[in-house]
Homo-oligomer: A and B are copies of this chain.
């Protein structure tokens, strides 16, 4: 098994040359474009790690489905989906246009930035510190990694340069969709995006979703079953930015990518997958990471379709 995975990494590493690391958050430019790592944890808790699996990277948009799960448990489906829709948008993740031309102007789904910011604003807590503590604890429990924490430099970098997210948040505020103080919500959102993980952390969270919310080690239910299904559905329809449709056809594994280079995959009843490759394609997905997912899907027949 491990050799097979190593082969997949070796074969696809060349694609890292065809993409570029994210530049719109200055701190992300420091990533090493050649890195490529993979971790798979199966339902027997076998852990396979190959490539640059020890590297830490910020979770970025991979955090969106996880925070969504917490927000759904905090608020219930009705309340959450009165503020954010369920439809793929067909637009880039940072698009603002649809907020203007569709009424009511709620974000299309929780995987685009506008929707994710609204979701973050719904995390319970009596202040921002408590909200972040609850969020971080949830990430720690799911990953089984008590040391999970934010990368302070990336967080500060996002905070300094996140003007497009600010634009979206203020627009949502002016439309009555976003409650509370915009800068506070964004601060929480930037922290969420700056949580530092490894491919093993992502694989472990993916495994939890593959087991419909049950922790493999403790047997504890961490996510409600129906919420775990909702999360996986969003990962299929909107998980890979505006390349989700193509990814569903070519790979067919519920997955979520982030501009830090991470991809989290979940194969129902089979395995969780974590991939890291900071060299991105034009849509913001790990360019070699997508190839790795494609090979995994074909080699092990993992498509849900």
Contact = CB atoms under 8 A, between A and B. Distances in A.
A114 to B, nearest CB: 11
A248 interface: yes
A252 to B, nearest CB: 7
Q: What is the copy number of this chain in the assembly?
A: 4
A238 B174 CA distance: 25
A64 interface: no
B245 A230 contact: no
Contacts of A90: 87-91, 98, 108
Contacts of A167: 96, 166-171, 173-174
Contact of A304 (B109, B173, B304): B304
Given A87-B242, A108-B90, A237-B88, A101 B96 contact: no
Contacts of A248: 86, 233, 236-237
Interface string A229-271: 1101110111000111110110010100000000000001000
Tell me whether chain A's interface is mostly helix, strand or loop, or mixed: helix
A300 interface: no
Contacts of A268: 305
A144 interface: no
A195 B89 CA distance: 31
Contacts of A182: 163, 166
A226 to B, nearest CB: 10
A170 B174 contact: no
Query: A90, A97, A232: which has the most chain B beta carbons within 10 Å?
Result: A90
Interface of A: 85-91, 95-101, 108-109, 163-164, 166-171, 173-174, 182, 229-230, 232-234, 236-238, 242-246, 248-249, 252, 254, 268, 303-305
**A-B residue pairs, 6 tightest by C-beta:** A88-B88, A90-B90, A163-B174, A167-B171, A167-B170, A87-B245
